[in-house]
Amino acid sequence: MSTNTDVSLSSSDEDQGSKLIQKAKEAPFVPFGMASFVAIVAYGLYRLKSRGNTKMSLHQIHVRMAAQGFVVGAMIVGMGYSLYREFWTKPKP
């Protein structure tokens, strides 16, 4: 009895980079939301040293809420875009 543990990848399996590119073509606002999230977190870290008398926890809450707001906003705009593309731009039979 032989056990073959060699697992070959089929052509349908893709690496993570090509999956991200494919998803970005389908929904272009998702990468925008991800980039906005990273930019706001980076800005929050940059502003951390000049926050003045604001408590650390309050500063973190504000940065988190701004980042989440941009991501949720990008998701809503992306859903609206896909609905527009699916229902209004499709030719009627």
DSSP annotation string for 3-59? -----PPPTT---HHHHHHHHHHH-THHHHHHHHHHHHHHHHHHHGGG-TT--HHHH
For each of the chain's 93 residues, which pLDDT tens digit applies? 555 554 544 445 568 878 878 877 777 777 777 788 788 888 888 887 777 777 888 888 888 888 888 878 878 888 888 888 888 887 666
